[in-house]
Amino acid sequence: MTNARKPLRILILGTGNMARSHAAAFRKIPGVELVAGVDRRADVLERFCAGHDIPHRFESLEEALAWGGFDAASNVTPDAAHHATTLTLLEAGKHVLCEKPLATNAADAGEMADLAARKSLVGMVNLSYRDVAVLQKAAELVAAGALGALRHFEASYLQSWLTQPAWGDWRSESQWLWRLSTAHGSKGVLGDVGIHILDFVTFAAGSPVSELSCRLKTFDKSEDGRIGDYTLDVNDSATLAAELDNGALGTISATRFASGHLNDLRLRLYGDKGGLEVLFEKQVGTLRICRGPDLESATWTDVPVDRVPTVYERFVAAVRDGATADPDFEHGARLQIALDLAERSDAEGGRFLKV
């Protein structure tokens, strides 16, 4: 008789709003145990661990590492804390699923990717829209040549939480206010959701960005640009013109002022043999294609899709079975290079820069 495989023990670092999604997702995976939570806010930590039946609580990462009873960690800290905390976990020999963006600059992201590779540890970045089945199918169709040579694309990530309170009141709730303040670790809409739509494009197109131009805009949202301890100085809207390595040219935009859209992603890809439309709106995915004889009449047909594994399932499979870790830290670092150049381009008046 063979022994049953030991459970994969996971620690969650940072127990705020997004950590609940991590905990719920990991709990659904057989053979996974949530063993500990870490947060310097004792009250938040206690509520989170009690709510998810997590037995061990630590108010510092150092305490958790001294205990050591875990195999992997979900890093759900604010953006500015990803680099230092992930390096600490990797140095201790722990696999890491890190929230996006991987870091707040390309140098830090590259250091994280290099260390994970050097330690032969799984490092994955939580680009959660990779879990959208229509995006995976779109990438499959493009790779199979269904559109021919890609020529053009249009992509947007549309949120409206600065114009309505469906997700809560951003004027009074810290879980939203920190996202509007550079001093609290935010990189604005570009780093928060712009990274998702950038990944949406490059993954589906099967090609990274080679050159880009960017403009960023911060709108007045309060008297003197402040609410309490929060200076509201990050970008609220971002627009990029970009060329991919495969030669396709197009636009990528992200905003928190898209009134009427709670959280919608749109991507259109056009090649010399057909077009694809990828929509993820109100948590529903839609994929349509126009190609071959349908081009003459501009007739679009829905494409059926099957469920795809979540990033949490892929992370567990990578740790336990050596499956491909995708999207990995190396990919997250490449995206960060593009984000850094987008900020630099805006500072230089929208000048085109090579990646």
pLDDT of residue 340: 96
pLDDT of residue 185: 82
Helix (H, G, I), strand (E, B) or coil at 106: helix
CATH code for the domain defined by 133-307: 3.30.360.10
Sheet with 237-244, strands from edge to edge, namely: 301-302, 284-291, 274-281, 263-271, 150-159, 249-255, 237-244, 209-217, 353-354
pLDDT of residue 1: 37
Q: Going from the first residue of the chain to its last (355 residues), give the mean pLDDT of each consecutive group of 10, the final group possibly shorter.
A: 75 95 97 98 96 97 98 94 97 97 95 98 96 97 98 98 94 91 91 94 97 98 94 97 98 98 98 98 97 97 96 97 95 96 97 95
* Count of H-run helices and E-run strands, the chain: 12, 17
* pTM of the predicted structure, to 2 decimals: 0.92
Amino acid at 228: G
pLDDT of residue 2: 43
Phi, psi of 93 (to 5 degrees): 85, 25
272 and 259 Cβ atoms separated by less than 8 Å: no
Amino acid at 125: V
CA gap 48, 320 in Å, rounded:
26
Q: Exposure string (b/e) for 185-222, b if CB count within 10 Å is 16 or more?
A: bbbbbbbbbbbbbbbbbbbbbebbbebbbbbbeeeebe
CATH topology of domain 8-128: Rossmann fold (3.40.50)
Q: Which helix (H) or strand (E) holds 297?
A: helix 294-297
Which regions of the chain carry the CATH code 3.40.50.720? 8-128
pLDDT of residue 4: 63
Cβ contacts of 155 within 8 Å, gap of 6 or more: 197, 200, 201, 250, 251, 252, 253, 265, 266, 267, 268
294 and 300 Cβ atoms separated by less than 8 Å: yes
Which regions of the chain carry the CATH code 3.30.360.10? 133-307
pLDDT of residue 78: 86
Q: What's the per-residue H, E or C state across 137-195?
A: HHHHHHHCCCCCCEEEEEEEEEECCCCCCCCCCCCCCHHHHHHHCHHHCCCHHHHHHHH
